[in-house]
Amino acid sequence: MTATTHSRSTERPAATANGIVMLLIGLVLLILGPVSVAQDPDTAWRVVAGIVAAVIGLLLICGLYSLQPNEGMAILLFGDYRGTDRRTGLRWVLPWYSRKKISLRVRNLTSDKLKVNDRRGNPIEIAANVVWRVEDSAQALFDVDDYQAFVAIQVDTALRDIASHYAYDHGEEGQDSELTLRADAEDVAGRLRDELGTRLHAAGLAIDEARLAHLAYSPEIAGVMLRRQQAEAILSARRLIVRGAVAMVENALTDLSERGVVHLDEERKAAMVSNLLVVLCADREAQPVINTGTLYG
């Protein structure tokens, strides 16, 4: 039992000619052939020459094709790849060569929303937008069965792999240095672009840009995760408020002491700190209470 080997194709220029010149020659032959026969239908060699000229003219016209900017034409002879023509305008190749047109323009693909698990095992929905183009027409046409379907499958595969390496968002404290899908979109996009470039290189395709187009928790845990994010935001805000309040109280006590405005013992300092922290950290506006007595009653 012999093992089959996969041969890689490589694009190369095709031997083609200017189509306008061939069109003019073909039209001239198509006109001269019937004219030659009509002038002297009784002369055998003129009849044969006229028919041959008309057939050659028809064959020349059959070899014409046109290419727009960023299009290519792969030329084949009985299944054997002979090169790719990228020159625009009216072109010509021998009529017994078969031709396959391929677009070299930039294309855009938005993947379907995939339900996958992130690094922590949380179910998430993720989708990507990929900008790609054909770089090597021979590889795209002959090394994969359907290069457009190949792109879609590889995008889905790369997305699943990326999601498994990153968490959706930061978790507990101390994990802020961890890269996440939501907070580090540029890093994730760079890794997705590199991975897709590696996967699609075998098909002669190039990735110009790749970014996440959709990212969300799955519906079954979205509500719980939203409440968790809200709680984390509230705790973070409270932490910032308390830190700022402590700094303000510390500055107030230091200024009073340095300027000699008032001399406070430890108990009065504690009372002042308590009152200031209540005022600065409270959700509502403070309601001042005037003490007409002394701190010690």
The Cα angle at residue 255 between residues 250 and 257, in degrees rounded to 5? 95
Q: Where in the chain is the domain with CATH 3.30.479.30?
A: 107-217
Residue 201 has what DSSP assignment? G
Q: 238-278, pLDDT tens digit by residue?
A: 777 777 777 777 787 777 677 766 666 666 667 776 766 66
With 50 as the cut, is the pLDDT of residue 1 above it?
A: no
With 50 as the cut, is the pLDDT of residue 172 above it?
A: yes
Give the whole-number percent of the chain exceeding pLDDT 70: 75
β-bridge pairing 114-117 and 123-134: antiparallel
Q: What is the dihedral of CA 234, 240, 242, 243, to 10 degrees?
A: 160
CA of residue 237 relative to chain centroid, distance = 35
Task: Compute how many other C-beta atoms are within 10 angstroms of the C-beta atom of residue 95.
Answer: 13
Q: 87-135, pLDDT tens digit by residue?
A: 999 999 999 999 999 999 999 999 999 888 888 888 888 999 999 999 9
Give strand ranges (E) for the chain.
17-18, 64-67, 71-77, 80-85, 89-92, 98-103, 107-110, 114-117, 123-134, 205-217
- Compute the average pLDDT of residues 27-51: 76
Joined tokens for residue 17:
């000619």
Contact (CB, 8 A) for 132 and 201: no
Q: Which residues pair with 125 in a beta bridge?
A: 115, 216
What span, in angstroms and rounded, lies between the C-alpha atoms of 74 and 86?
9
Sheet containing 17-18: which strands, arranged edge to edge?
A: 17-18, 89-92, 64-67
Task: Assess if CATH 3.30.479.30 describes domain 107-217.
Answer: yes
Identity of the highest mean pLDDT range in 28-37, 194-203, 221-230: 194-203
Identity of the highest mean pLDDT range in 53-57, 82-86, 174-178, 232-236: 82-86
Contact (CB, 8 A) for 133 and 196: no
